[in-house]
A and B are shown apart, each in its own frame.
Chain A
Amino acid sequence: EAEVAQSPRYKITEKSQAVAFWCDPISGHATLYWYRQILGQGPELLVQFQDESVVDDSQLPKDRFSAERLKGVDSTLKIQPAELGDSAMYLCASRWGALDTQYFGPGTRLTVL
């Protein structure tokens, strides 16, 4: 069964360093989401792509976060510089269309020291 792939699964970094996460959605899924989930809370949308275009990045802290999906397939989320408060699980999800459910990747657990 097709799955959303994410890497790395775990990342430990020091504050002020740069980190990058990668997501490969299920083939054919046009919509891709990046979420941040702080322990004990529900996921918070950071950015939504439709193909290669950003649909919603209103909650993305643009001074330090950036996301791209250049060819409309896989996507990269970058944080530079990382701060202590960025420690969280970063989840990627994709869906084929508006009537489809979201499929989540396993997530990247980020710890900033």
Chain B
Amino acid sequence: DAKTTQPPSMDCAEGRAANLPCNHSTISGNEYVYWYRQIHSQGPQYIIHGLKNNETNEMASLIITEDRKSSTLILPHATLRDTAVYYCIVRVARGSTLGRLYFGRGTQLTVWP
């Protein structure tokens, strides 16, 4: 079962920041928070991941609360091409369960012009 909770849908104006929340209150100490997105009819694409510190890459920023029970994915300047389903997943970084991801329903982000 997915260990995360996300709002089913959100929308955002093009050029504005999109902030996608995720609750993972039962996260274990050795589990990371990963974000993937799936653009219609394509395979999921990795976005970013983190353990407890905030992370930033060329695609997005990830803000993880101090208690690690929730996080927010930030797309700083959303474009129409960012319209997709965004999945927040908790997983271990190593070990026998690696790769066995349990996807929730995700958040359908719609960016409008």
Q: Do A and B bind each other?
A: no
| Chain B positions near chain A (C-beta within 8 angstroms) | none
| Chain A positions near chain B (C-beta within 8 angstroms) | none
